[in-house]
Amino acid sequence: MLKQQIDKVCTGYACVEIDDLEKTLDDMAAEGLVLKDKEQVQLTEQGLKLGKEWSSLLLKKEPVLEVVAGLVDGSITSLVVVLSAFIASLTFKAAAFAALLTLASVAITNFSSFLLGGITADMADMVTLQTLMNYSLSDIPDKKEREKSLMLLQRLFTVLHKQISRANIFSAIMCGTTTFLAGIVPILSYFALPRPQNIIAALAIVCGLVGFFLVRYRSKRSRVHWKITLLETAVIVTIAVIASLLIGGSA
């Protein structure tokens, strides 16, 4: 399996020799990253953990920013819509139209921003990383080994570019979907229930999304105590909602 993956990356290039591969695997085995015998190679628990960290760093397999942005934007949008409809006593038809239009606009904007911004930022980071690695490899004294290493690096970055493009599409979809779902649930509960149960239910759902899912997720990923994360999140959401209502009321 490992040899097949290497052949896939190096198709048409004699850039990986079996002796180099064996030496690298021996080094990884000595560091406790793989278990190696004559027939197969298996990652250890430490190797799996390290691989996951690299995958998360380079390919964004952990959609931290996407989930956080989606939950925050969806919650703020639903709060603004629900409070505006409640304060202004809008009719069902007008409130529903405004709510769906606003939420869809925010979700689509998040999707577009993460797709275009993510691709641009990641490609810029890739160029910087490739430049630094090229400079590092240029110090190899043996010309043949240096050219082989540069060829392998170029091929690896080609594969990595494809993987990052897929990851950016996934990130954009994740953020847009999370935004819409976080916003539509409290809005639907507001329209489905009679007053005053509707406003109470909608606010309770938003508090649950922000107070449990968002705070818990942020605390777990950033490894910061949940009380600090809760305070930060509550202040930011409150300021954003008040600012939105003030701007909307003065329009």
- Is the confidence at residue 203, as pLDDT, over 80? yes
Report whether 184 contacts 73 (CB < 8 A).
Answer: no
Residue-number span of the structural domain to which 42 is assigned: 1-53
Residues 35, 110: one domain?
no
Residue 226 to residue 219: CA distance in whole angstroms: 5
Residues 214, 91: one domain?
yes
Residue 215 to residue 134: CA distance in whole angstroms: 41
pLDDT of residue 180: 92
pLDDT of residue 1: 57
Residues 47, 75: one domain?
no
Residue 73, C-beta contacts closer than 8 angstroms, at least 6 positions apart: 106, 110, 179, 182, 183
Residues 122, 30: one domain?
no
Residues 9, 70: one domain?
no
Residues 49, 157: one domain?
no
Residues 121, 31: one domain?
no
Residue 61 to residue 56: CA distance in whole angstroms: 5
Number of domains making up the chain: 2
Residues 22, 130: one domain?
no
Please check whether residue 58 lies inside any domain of the structure.
no
Per-residue pLDDT band at 249 (split at 50, 70, 90): low
- Is the confidence at residue 40, as pLDDT, over 80? no
Residues 171, 227: one domain?
yes
Minimum mean pLDDT among 108-117, 195-204, 237-246: which range?
237-246
pTM: 0.67
